[in-house]
């Protein structure tokens, strides 16, 4: 699992560099990523519900996710509106991810293995600051969306690698 996490962290950092190199394209294609996520979630929820023979809220949300993904894809202008909404979602995501990073750093500091917690704390604080700034200046976020997403992916990849390498394997 440690190797898989390191590989995933490296891949996230590489994707981050790609986003930084193509910031406008990253922003313009962000809506398609949301569509893909909605479709994958919807299919997964439906398959799980059918396998477990439970047709409650998860099944309903799966169907709604697929419908929403298809609607965003085919209705003209809706993808552009989705891209605009993603600016605010991304700002909140930066804020929450930074807060989680701070929480994880404090938790790691108090554990027996406290190596690397300072880096996670610094990156968490940066995430919170970027999130707050992005909420205050959404147009700037639109122009720098690809760069910020790239930095987020690089930060997340590095955090994953630092955290997994600092945990003592038994």
* Residue ranges of domains in the chain: 2-166
Any idea what DSSP says for residue 1?
-
pLDDT tens-digit readout, 26-75? 887 877 877 888 888 889 889 988 998 888 888 898 899 999 989 988 88
Residues 164-169 have a mean pLDDT of: 70
Q: Calculate mean pLDDT across residues 138-159.
A: 83
Neighbours of 101 (CB within 10 A): 24
Three-state secondary structure string covering the chain: CHHHHHHHHHHHHHHHHHHHHCHHHHHHHHHHHHHHHHHHHHHHHHHHHHHHCCCCHHHHHHHHHHHHHHHHHHCCCHHHHHHHHHHHHHHHHHHHHHHHHHHHHHHHHCCCCCCCHHHHHHHHHHHHHHHHHHHHCHHHHHHHHHHHHHHHHHHHHHHHHHHHHHCCCC
Q: What is the pLDDT of residue 170?
A: 46
pLDDT at 169 over 80: no
Quote the CA–CA distance of 161 and 170 in Å, as a whole number. Answer: 18
pLDDT tens profile 11-26: 889 988 988 898 888 8
């Amino acid at each position: 699992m440690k190797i898989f996490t390191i590989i995933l962290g490296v891949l996230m950092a590489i994707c981050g560099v790609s986003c930084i190199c193509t910031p406008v394209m990253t922003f313009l294609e962000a809506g398609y990523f949301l569509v893909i996520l909605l479709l994958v979630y919807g299919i997964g929820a439906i398959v799980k519900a059918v396998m477990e023979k439970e047709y409650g809220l998860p099944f309903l949300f799966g169907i709604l996710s697929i419908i929403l993904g298809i609607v965003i894809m085919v209705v003209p202008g809706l993808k552009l509106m989705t891209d605009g909404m993603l600016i605010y979602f991304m700002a909140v995501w930066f804020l929450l991810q930074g807060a989680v990073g701070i929480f994880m750093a404090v938790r790691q500091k108090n554990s027996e293995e406290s190596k690397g917690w300072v880096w996670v704390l610094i990156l968490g604080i940066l995430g919170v600051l970027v999130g707050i700034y992005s909420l205050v200046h959404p147009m700037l976020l639109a122009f720098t969306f690809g760069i910020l997403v790239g930095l987020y992916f690089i930060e997340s990849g590095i955090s994953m690698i630092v955290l997994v390498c600092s945990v003592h394997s038994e």
